[in-house]
Chains A and B, each alone.
Chain A
Amino acid sequence: MRFLGAFGRFWYDFVIGDDWKIAAAVVAALTLGAIALAAGLPAGAAAPLTGALVAAGFLGALWVDAR
């Protein structure tokens, strides 16, 4: 169990890193993009919209830390 815990912590630190808010913002933006697609938004509009949502989420995460 200790090994599994250490293994999990390593990958959390490795991928999520110092700021969990960035990972949360990416997952939230991609989820919203998937919902927009499921709601019938064309792929040509959903792709740039999702990219813009990722950028906005990243900027928001930076702003919280920089305050």
Chain B
Amino acid sequence: MAHSGLWGLVTTTFVASFVEFVEALTIVLAMGLTRGWRSALAGVAAAVAGLAAFTVAAGYALATWLPRSVLQFAVGTLLLIFGLQWLRKAIFRSSGLKAQHDEDAEFRARTATARLAGGQRRLGLDWFGFVVSAKGVFLEGVEVVFIVLTFGLAAGDVPAATVAAVSAGLLVVAVGLVASRPLTRVPENTLKYGVGLLLATYGTFWAVEGLGAWHGGGSLSWPGGDWALPAILAGWVTLSRVAVAGFRPARPAVAGQEGQ
């Protein structure tokens, strides 16, 4: 793979994983501080075990069963849809149609809910803290696994994508241990906008290359080969800035009226 492709792969998987791990950290911190660290960390361990099994099964299935051009088409299409969902949220947040994601507000809401929840115990664990931690880490982790597998397989370098994601996870855990509070100073909305642009760019590139699977079997070539990637990225940046300017309402959305 060319160096530009490797850097694109590493940057995208690192930043996307970093954002997801920050969100998972908020959930685990909220449970650990209100319901006890033993149950919260047991939830993390259960989620990591589930994610490992999911990664092996999905990775083996994708890498073994699909020819390269069909794989490019399948993962390119999935990445494109997935990336455009991120880009949609970023455009609506930048234009003011959707409130900005606020990690501090998320933490306050989760701790308030945790304090009001009942104290049911199973297997010696506070069940609420365990389940919320496990579910939160698993759901955020599935997004990381999805990006690492699809991106890694389409680019032909799963190990590089894995190293990038693991590095992001370790960095978030280290900073979280030092700070012992949600990482509210991380520019999450900006990072998500950047990841949305990169996922949309690579998704477009691979999905269109994969069209060759239905036309002769081999991958389709973009004019200029890999040099089409900067042009596609420039196209998505331009489109998103035009959309932000065009969709800006007279009154922006209020914080708290938004999803992830």
Asked if A6 is at the interface (CB within 8 A of a chain B CB), the reply is no
Complex partner residue of B220 from A26, A47, A63, A66, CB under 8 angstroms: A47
**Who on chain B is nearest to A24 by CB?**
B81
Q: Which residues from A are CB-within-8-Å of B239?
A: 55, 58-59
Asked if B137 is at the interface (CB within 8 A of a chain A CB), the reply is no
Interface-facing stretch out of B1-9, B62-70, B83-91, B103-111: B83-91
Complex partner residue of B77 from A30, A48, A55, A65, CB under 8 angstroms: A30
**Who on chain B is nearest to A55 by CB?**
B239
Interface residues of B in 68-99 (CB under 8 A from A): 73, 77-78, 80-82, 84-85, 87-89, 91-92, 95, 97
Given A37-B211, A58-B84, A15 contacting B78 (CB threshold 8 A)? yes
Interface residues of A in 36-51 (CB under 8 A from B): 37-38, 43-44, 46-48, 50-51
In angstroms, Cα B247 to Cα A65, docked, is 10
In angstroms, Cα B214 to Cα A50, docked, is 14
**Who on chain B is nearest to A66 by CB?**
B247
Asked if B212 is at the interface (CB within 8 A of a chain A CB), the reply is yes
By the criterion CB–CB under 8 Å, are A62 and B91 in contact?
yes
A contacts, CB < 8 Å to B = 14-19, 22-23, 26-27, 30, 33-34, 37-38, 43-44, 46-48, 50-51, 54-55, 58-59, 61-63, 65-66
B contacts, CB < 8 Å to A = 73, 77-78, 80-82, 84-85, 87-89, 91-92, 95, 97, 142-143, 146, 204, 207-209, 211-212, 214-215, 220-223, 228, 232, 235-236, 239, 243, 247, 259
